Structure formats: C-alpha cells, structure tokens
Structure 1
Amino acid sequence: MGRRFDIAIVGGGLAGGLAALAIRRAHPSLSLALFEAGDSFGGNHRWSWFESDLSQQGEALLAPFARTEWTGGNEVRFPAHRRVLTANYRSLDSRDFDRTLRRELPQEAQQLGSRVACLDASGIELATGERVEARTVIDCRDAGSSKHLTGGWQVFLGQHLRTASPHGIDRPVIMDATVRQHGAYRFVYLLPMGPDEIFVEDTYYADSAALDAPALRERIAAYAADKGWEATVLHEETGVLPVITGGDFAAYRASLKEPEVVLAGARGGFVHPLTSYTIPVAVENALAIADAAAFPRDELARLVDRRAHEHWRRTGFYRLLGKMLFEAAIPEERYRVFERFYRLGEPLIERFYAARSSALDKMRILSGKPPVPISRAVAALLGKGAPLVQEDRR
C-alpha cells in the first residue's frame, strides 16, 4: 500500500509553506505533506511588507521566521519628489523561510525534491511514478502566463552586496526612480542589511517578460559605483512576475482547476495585481485555509474558490491602475504615475500596498490632474490589453 496523507500541499513556495505551517498549528493531528520540486522551500526570493500589513494572527504565523526589521521608516526618490515616510518595514529571505519550515514541520511533511507530474482530488502522482493518496489536495504551484489574463510584467534582479566601507543608507528605499528609465518604469530598491551590507534590486515594469541578467548586473554595478561603493556580490536573485490588468478570471481558474482540488497561492489568483506584494495576501489566505482544513475537500475547495473570486473583485481598482500604467503612460514616463501617488497621505499608501484601499482612497488617487495623457487614458480604458502569454526568457 502506498503513502497516504490527510492533506497534500503541492508547491513549497510562500503560499504553500505558510499554509502548511498554519494547518500544522491549527490541526496538529492531521497528517500533512508539503511537496516541493526543488531542494529548498521558498525558492530564491525575498519578500517584504510594511509593519501595519498584518493582523495579530498574521504576525503570530510569521513569528518563527527570522526576518530583518527596520524602525526608521522608509524612503522614496523620484526626479521631482523625494520623501521619507514613517511606516516601518520588514523583509524575509527565502533561505530563512526554508530553515524555519524545516524546523517547524514534521520530517515526514518535508517532501523536497519531489516533482509532481499530475494531481487530482484524491492524490498526486510524482515524476517518479509513485502515487500518493490524500484526503485533500491543495495546489500552490507557481503561476504561469495565461491567455485569459492581460497585463505586463515586473522584472527584477537583486544582489546582496558587501561594501568595502559603510554605504550610508540607514532606511529602506522602496523606490529610487531617479535612474535612467530604459523604456520601462525602472527603479532601484535598497534594503540596508548592515553598515557594510545592502540589498540592491533593479526592477522594471516592462511590456516584455524578457530578463537580461548581464545588463541588469551592469546597471547595479554602475549604480553602486555612482554611490561610491566598492562592493562584492554575496547573493543574487531574479524574478519575472505578472502584473495583471484584466481578463476573464473565471476562465483562468477553470483552465487550471481540477474538480475538488483547492487552488490557492499566486496560481489561484491570490496576488496584489499591481505591486506583486504577496506577504499580506499569502498570510491571510493561509490562515483561512487552516481554519477550514478539516472540512470535506469539496467544501474547502469551494470556500477557497469563493475567496479567490472575492479577491479578484476587491482588487479591480489596482488592475485599472495597472492598465493606465501599461497602456496609457509612455514607458519612459511611467514613473510619473508613482511620483504623483507618493505625494498622497501615508495611511492611504499603506492601505494601497496591503490591497485594502477604501472608497475614499480610490477617489483621492483618481482625483486631480492625471499623470498620463487623456487621449491615451481613454484608449487604454477601451482597449483589451496585452495577453499574459509572453515567455520568461533569461
């Protein structure tokens, strides 16, 4: 007789890992397995969030993870506007995410190097041919491109640098958009990890999913040189994330979903469509799944499906803004959209990143002189948008 678990989670990234931890805490008697194709949980990423993004329960879920915390606020830099904001910032490295899950989850739950070939409501089949039965299957695999969704791409390369002398950055710089734009909205993201260590990420809101790693490395080196930093690279990560501006969400979910399989994570549509900030959404969803983990699988699948559609409805405003960004703003001038946004009140900005903007927030963001040409804005609203089917070329 083959292996059997109460719950099998496929995909050991942020969503899958947090769901596994939350279920383990809420229902320690349930047998659980977290299947990850790679040799570590979380991949090679860094996730960040503002202190106010999480509920008390969310903070408790993340409490075991070692993370970097800053209490001196954060900063943004644009050609015509610079500002220091008071919100404190947090960041979690995937290597610390991996170490914590290995410590917190039972050994039998840690199914690393386990590529899943296919799955259904009653279990999974590994690439080795082994069949693993499960009462409930939760699909948290990575999101891919889809003809059912429209938008653009957030492309980035980040490096953890060690500088020969103190770098002088004392708070996170969320966006330094004073850099050359290169045909997209480009900004540099800075996280001071110590007096002589700093994480530098070169990020683009681009029409193409192409990632030219050598070019981005050169631009980071040039940025460091311009700051007077003599630096050594300690670690590097890259990413290509979809920025969703529209589409047929029901058709998208239907194209991926197996009957009675719980479809969650970014693959299930649980993302901030514009900023790609994932911690608040992933934490909230993990807690909701854990609360209902003992339900029959069809009930849990329906519950998460309803949550996905409600999340899509609630985040329509951000997709509208993304549509303006990609289809109305001239690529080299997309920074003006964010430059204007960062003149607004701090509570509004924090709610925006957490995807909790109020009706008044939305009115305030849309009021005043638009940062894009009116004719292009009208054309963008009437257009269908570019399908998210480009290949991720590295």
Structure 2
Amino acid sequence: MVVSTAFPDVPRSKPAPSAAHVPTASAPRMSDVAAAAGVSLVTVSRCINHPGQVAPETLALVRAAVERLGYVPNLTAGSLASNRSRIVAAIVPTIANSVFSEMVEALTSTLSAGGYQLLLGQSFYRAEDEERLVDAFLGRRVDGLVLTGTPRSEHLTARLRRNGLPVVQTWELPPRPIDMAVGFSNYDTGVAAGRYLAAKGRRRVGFLGSSEDRAAQRLAGLRAALEQAGLPPPEVETLPPPVLVDKAGPSFAAMWERAAGLDAIFCNNDLLAAGVLFECRRRGIRVPDDLAVVGFGDLPIGIAAYPALSTIRIGLRGMGEMAGKLLLARFAGKDTLPALTDIGFELVARDSA
C-alpha cells in the first residue's frame, strides 16, 4: 500500500477491507442438512436423488431441513458422478400457438415426476435455429431430446442418429424415426376432414393453413379425399408460420372473393378457424348454412366460439405425457420400447359444420 507523505501529521483512516475480506454467510452444505435432520449424508443424497427409496418420515425430516436452511443441491456435482444431467430438452416451433404449449406442459409434468427438468427452445420453423438449439442442448449434456416432427435438416437427423441420445419425435409418425416417435398421421387428418365435408354435401372446399410440412401433409390428405369423392381440388390459401387468429380474416377474405361457390373450409388450426368465424360474422356469411368451418386441435377457443367449432381432436396432453414416459423408461434402462406410438385423432362434429 502506498502512503501519502504530503501531510504527515494528519491521521490516516483505516483502509476499507477489500471485497475478498468482507465476511459473507456461507451457503449451507449437505452436511448441514444431515446434521439438522439427524441423518447421514448418504440418506440426504438419497432423499434428493431417489426420494422413492426413502421412508416417508425420513423424507419429511430431510425436506424440512432443506427448506429451513435454504439448501440448494449441487446438481453439477451429481451429474459428473452419475454421468446424468437429469435435464431433457424440447424444441417446438413456437409457444405462441397453444397446441404446442399444452403438449409441453404435460411433458414437463411427466418428467418432473420422474426427477427430470425440461429445457425449452423455439425454432420458429427455421432449420438453422433448430440446429443451433440442438448444438446448445448437446453441449449442456442433456439426457434426452424431444423434437417437433422430423428435423428440417437431413444433416441434423444423421447427427442425432450417430449420437445415440434418446430422442422422441412428436406430432407425426415418420417412416424411419431417429429413435422413438409419438404422434399421428397428419395426412389422415386431412382425409378425415375431406370425407366429412363431402358427406355433409359440401362441394367446394377450401384449405387455410401455413406453408410448413405438417400442414402440407394435411392438405395432401384433404386433396385425396375430395378427389375420391369426385369433387374439385381444394382452394388453398397458405401463410408463413406461425399462423394465428389475427391472420385468418384477410386470408379467408381473399379466398372467399376469388372462389365462387365456396361452401366449406378446413383450417390448419383452431385459431385460424376462429378467425374465419369472426370474419364471417363481419361479412354476414352464415355458418354453417353458407359455409361449413372445420378446425384442428380442439382448443378451448373452439368450444367458446359461436357457433361452436367442429374440429380434429388430437391428444395434446397425451402426446406430451407419452413422450415423457418413453424417455423415463429409456433412462431406467429399458431398451425394448416402441419405435412408433400412434395416439390417433378424432373428428369432433359441432355446430360450425
């Protein structure tokens, strides 16, 4: 320390302690929890990592001590010892569309019950964002990965196959999954919508949806069903994803004005279908007398809409739960798991069609 000699008679004040010398309260350790609960370190570790293996009374004592002391387990140390991070990553196109958020909520609950936490990323339907997210998650040594559909990059698909990480693809049933898949046939949902509308006597059908792959499969199924029924191909209006309720009105208006005789429309999701219903009210188009409307997803907005929305129901929560259960089973060492799990779908007929 340099001391000034300009004023030798002025008493010098005591220097303030450096940051390194400022006393701080030490974070509670596992040994503190063990002492507070009156159990061994091994028991505390087991309560944190394998609570199902501990007597309820002991677990309650340890949890009370953890709460009282504010102890936070060192998950990094545990993952280094066990080669497990106890983290699963999921990638969805967007959480702006509630069909994805409902599935993620069920996935999170299922994994949490098994002692795993979820990291979530949004790809915004872009292949490069999806690949960057996978790189980031692999770099953090996640134990498993949940994808929405098939990666848009074949290079990424090949990488994940070589990596050997447990992977569950959702929202579709690819002919050759990376590891496991939980979903349904998007093509068949389009077929079901087309057959239903044809059976209701509709003769000029439109499709309103996005330009992404799963929407294209639904459109292909709709087109096949209409052709089989001897009807003209669907009038199509596509938008860049994500497609939400605010985009439906202008797109439907453009289709309505150019497609003479349009009497039915199949929408790629219930949000779009609700937007079509709003636009019909504005224009005085009677639903279902003038136009039958079918949505996709069976979201709450469809039930609340007027008239209530006919839709394709898929098990959103069931899909998330099954994806989580398959990963937990794989983590538990089970190798004989189904490559494809078809959750099916149901056409729900309501007042709009």
Measured against the shorter chain, the TM-score band is under 0.3
| Structure label with greater radius of gyration | 2
Q: Which structure carries more relative contact order (alpha carbon 8 Å, separation 6+)?
A: 1
Could you say which structure has the higher strand fraction?
1
Could you say which structure has the higher helix fraction?
2
Q: TM-score, normalised by structure 1?
A: 0.22
